[in-house]
Amino acid sequence: MNQGIPIARIAGIRISAHWSVLVIGAILAWGVAVGVIPPAAPGTPALVAWLVGAGAALLLITSLTAHELAHSLMARQRGVAVEGITLWVFGGVSHIKGDWGSARTEIVVAVAGPATTFVLAGLFYAIAAVLDAVGAPALAVVVAWWLAMVNVTLLVFNIVPAFPLDGGRILRGILWARRGDRASATTSAAVGGRVFAFFLMAAGVIDFLLVSDIGGIWLVFIGWFLETASRAEVQGETVRHVLEGVTVSDVMSSNPVVVPGWITVELLVEQYAMRYHFTTFPIHDIAGRIEGLVTLRGMKRVPGPQRSRVPAADIAMPLAQIPTAAPTDLLTDLLPKLGPQSDGRALVFDGDQLVGIVSPSDVARRMQVAELRSEPPRAAA
């Protein structure tokens, strides 16, 4: 999922919407207009029911935003970097960029969301009760009541100890605090995530087969999404654990062979690719400045007959596209920046001096070496 289009900024936190939030908005509006209003307020004109349904959907999405905002604000207050919030088909996601730092921080950040949902559920319940007591129209009462009920459902769903849902994060935080070992806490908490994910998928399939209810498909999707998220968290944790304290200079290939950008691809292949074991060559301009990076793959893409005419600079990835790092930077900070735009590579500069290249094979090698030793490269704190 990309980050979506920015729609608001609240207390300095950027809130964006992915197009798929329209899907959940439409389903909610439809559910209220067709399923909730007619039985409670018979005779409501369809147009009014749909308008009220849309308003209720908007209020619910606002509730989800408040939930995420609580996570994000608490994270920021505890010194964890927050990129923003994205609203999408499964509700909201807070993009937490920084590391949790401590079990306590993870617990309080995880608790903040469900606590907000709890308050909202109580608030909507009180509004419904007051509206009912003063004899307000059934239409208003049922909408407030529906908002309270959906928030209660979300609350229950959120506090199931299924990592990485909020309840699972609270569980991991507690295990982490008790054992003093974040990696083992993650592995344990992830079991809850996978069990709940398979339960949701199985319930969804049974529901679909027995009742042929669309809601069943929805459960399967949520289960599948949870299972994927849980697995990704465990993988991320393994990488973090194994690479803890490893710096860019620990893994980089030093003293890369820098090539003049104006030589032909043919010369590049004969004089450099054949002679050195590198798969990547930085190129420099006439003034000696690094201007990009050529890869063996890029050379292969130039058809044989054209290699004597095309200059190396023409097949290079421009510098702006390539992530850079300093030798003392942590590898775990660089990893998220490596992507297909640079073929998974980064250039390492000490000041303005190019001192190395990091490639996917360098990282993979380091991971394997770390796994060979039974303990992480530098003991986890």
Q: Which residue is nearest to Zn ion (CB)?
A: 113
Is 166 or 362 the residue whose CB approaches Zn ion more closely? Answer: 166
User: Residue 10 or residue 202: which is nearer to Zn ion going by CB?
Assistant: 10
How far apart are CB 48 and Zn ion at their closest, in Å? 33
Q: Kindly tell me which of 113 and 256 has the beta carbon lying closer to Zn ion.
A: 113
* Residue window 50-79: x/- pattern of binding to Zn ion, with contact defined by CB under 5 A: ------------------------------
CA dist 132 to 15, 49, 129, 172, 312, Å?
A: 34, 19, 5, 42, 76
Residue 165 C-beta: closest distance to Zn ion, Å:
7
Instruction: Retrieve residue 240's tokens.
Output: 């973090």
One character per residue 107-146, x = contact with Zn ion (rule: CB under 5 A) = ------x---------------------------------
The residues facing 56 across adjacent strands are: none
Name the nearest CA neighbour of 84 among 20, 6, 15: 15
In the complex with Zn ion, which residue's Cβ is closer, 166 or 244? Answer: 166
* CB 183, min distance to Zn ion, A: 23
Work out how close the CB of 113 gets to Zn ion at its nearest, in angstroms, rounded to a whole number: 3
**Shortest gap between Cβ of 326 and Zn ion (angstroms)?**
35
Distance of CA 305 to the CA centre of its chain: 45
Number of residues that bind Zn ion (CB under 5 A): 2
Q: What are phi and psi of 76, to 5 degrees?
A: -65, -40
Output helix, strand, coil percentages for the chain, rounded to the nearest 5: 60, 15, 25
Q: Which is nearer to Zn ion, 159 or 183 (CB)?
A: 159
- Respond yes or no: is residue 68 known to be catalytic: yes
The minimum distance between CB 194 and Zn ion, in angstroms, equals: 19
Structure token pair of residue 212:
């042929």
- Pick the closer one to Zn ion by CB: 4 or 113: 113
Interface with Zn ion includes 233 (CB under 5 A)? Answer: no
- b/e for 17-54, b at 16 or more Cβ within 10 A? bbeebeebbeebbebbbeebbeeebeebeeeebbebbb
In this structure, the dihedral spanned by the alpha carbons of residues 267, 273, 275 and 279, taken in order and rounded to 10 degrees, is 160
Q: Strand, helix or coil at 175?
A: helix
166 or 266, CB closer to Zn ion?
Answer: 166
CB-based contact 184:118 (threshold 8 Å): no
Of the residues 68, 227, 237, 266, only one is catalytic, namely: 68
**Which residues, including other chains, have CB under 8 Å from residue 190's CB and lie 6 or more apart?**
163, 168, 230, 231, 233, 234
Rounded CA separation 72/111 (Å)? 11
Minimum CB separation from Zn ion for residue 77, in Å? Answer: 16
Of 85, 100, 144, 166, the residue at the interface with Zn ion (CB under 5 A) is 166
Which residues are within 8 A (CB) of 307 and not within 5 positions of it... i.e. 6 or more apart?
A: 264, 265, 266, 269, 299
Q: What Å distances lie between residue 311 and 169, 262, 266, 273, 296, CA to CA?
A: 53, 5, 9, 15, 14
Rounded distance, CA 137 to CA 158, Å? 32
Stretch that binds Zn ion, among 165-173, 193-201, 211-219, 311-319 (CB under 5 A): 165-173
Q: Which stretch binds Zn ion (CB under 5 A): 52-60, 106-114, 202-210, 264-272?
A: 106-114
Which residues are designated catalytic?
A: 68
Instruction: List interacting residues with Zn ion (CB under 5 A).
Output: 113, 166
